[in-house]
Amino acid sequence: MATAFLQCVDESCRRRFPLNASEYRCEACGSLLDVEYEMAAPDRAALLALWQQRKSSTGIEGQSGVWRFREMLPFIAAGRSVVTLAEGNTPLVEAARAGDWAGGVRLTVKHQGANPTGSFKDLGMTACVSQGAILGCGVVACASTGNTSASMSAYAVRAGMKALVFVPAGKITAAKLAQALEFGAMVIEVAGNFDQAFHLLRSFAKELNLYLVNSLNPFRLEGQKTIIFELLERRGWRVPDYIVVPGGNLGNVSAMGKGLCELRRHGFIDKLPRLVVTQAEGANPFCRMLSAGATELTPVADPQTEATAIRIGNPVNWKKALRSIRATDGLCESVSDAETFEAKAALAGDGIGCEPASATTVAGIRKLRKSGTIQAGADVVAILTGNQLKDPESSLLRRSAEELARQRVSVEADAGKLRAALERALK
């Protein structure tokens, strides 16, 4: 049996709160909260066998790459139903050409774009919407650069809840906006950036009894930490040298660090990989803080990058992310948009597509190889956070007219003209 509770992340406070607390900040010091547990040491061998057995389950909860590991998320009582779309179980794919391009590393990618709504957000959303259902919430809400809104809307409608989305006007791709609308969400377009939209939403969330599902919600991170469980299980519990993840609101690296530390504490692994956060140069407050050796994060007032999923200047989870970086002797690297799209093209050479934010990982690996920080032949896993079709416009706009002309040929419905065009194209 396990006892679950919320706990302040500040080491000098560590105040505890019940799981049904209405706020996700410590009322004493204002810090964010974690979901924590008091539980007996698990039987490692028995759990590994059980997790494997569930892969062949005919029930949707057993098929979920989150709830298959439910013993590590015991805030949901045994036998209690969850809101799931069989998320997780995403592929781990070798990317040899991209690894050579990045400087000669042994690169594999864990592609979260294979989730039901096309991003890693589904792993966190199944957890926090399930908790919201337990609490009897009727309306879920988020501010979003796109992926969160799509995921929340899908899980909300599945749970029979209303969904309210705040997005920065004109700064969300049509593909992501279409997902939220198709799942029935009410979309509020705010004239400003993500950080401003999030601030406005939080200002009246309590008054309107909205259940916030942004990554300040600690149940989101409980779901997202299962990326690590699934990744290491797929590798036979062999820990890589580095795990690289894009950084926007910094929930993913926070969740991964928490998951890694829990696995080591319970004897599933005996060492930790180094976590690496990659940010866009125009939206890199966390990297700036680390490079300056500062103890407080200075927000970027007007974040700018074509990698829209990480266009965030004031990440709410920076303290949790800092904890993860310190625990794993981790790193942070900034990359330009040009470097990001070069990396995106390198991944495409392996047949692997992703949205731009995901490609910052491979761009960052290349920079860290060039500086000698990552050694040649290192065992590196890049977390690709979103599907290629989340932002198709960027791929087209980045290609020159000459490139498009070589790949797109228009001909009349005439066999002779078609043959001539094909002969020219195949020279």
- Residues 409-427 have pLDDT tens digits of 788 888 998 888 888 878 7
Q: What token pair was written down for 4? A: 């679950």
**What confidence category does residue 207 fall into, taking pLDDT thresholds of 50, 70 and 90?**
confident
E-assigned strand segments in 301-403: 331-335, 379-384
Note the pLDDT of residue 405.
Answer: 66
Phi and psi torsions of 337, nearest 5°: -65, -35
Note the pLDDT of residue 396.
Answer: 67
Structure confidence by residue, pLDDT tens digits, 233-292? 999 999 999 999 999 999 999 999 999 999 999 999 999 999 999 999 999 999 999 999
- Is the per-residue pLDDT at 227 higher than 70? yes
- Is the per-residue pLDDT at 312 higher than 90? yes
- Cβ–Cβ < 8 Å for 224, 147: no
Structure confidence by residue, pLDDT tens digits, 394-403? 776 666 666 6
Lowest-pLDDT range of 120-129, 143-152, 349-358: 143-152
CB atoms within 10 A of CB 155: 31
Looking at residue 386, the DSSP 8-state letter turns out to be B
Lookup result for tokens 């569930």: 54
* Mean pLDDT, rounded, for 97-111: 98
Note the pLDDT of residue 399.
Answer: 66
Note the pLDDT of residue 323.
Answer: 97
Lowest-pLDDT range of 118-127, 379-388, 414-423: 414-423
- Cα 281 from chain centre: 19
Given 3-state DSSP classes, what are the helix, strand and coil percentages for the chain, each rounded to the nearest 5?
45, 15, 40
**What confidence category does residue 393 fall into, taking pLDDT thresholds of 50, 70 and 90?**
confident
Average pLDDT, the chain: 94
Note the pLDDT of residue 404.
Answer: 64
- Is the per-residue pLDDT at 48 higher than 70? yes
E-assigned strand segments in 144-185: 162-168
* Mean pLDDT, rounded, for 58-86: 93
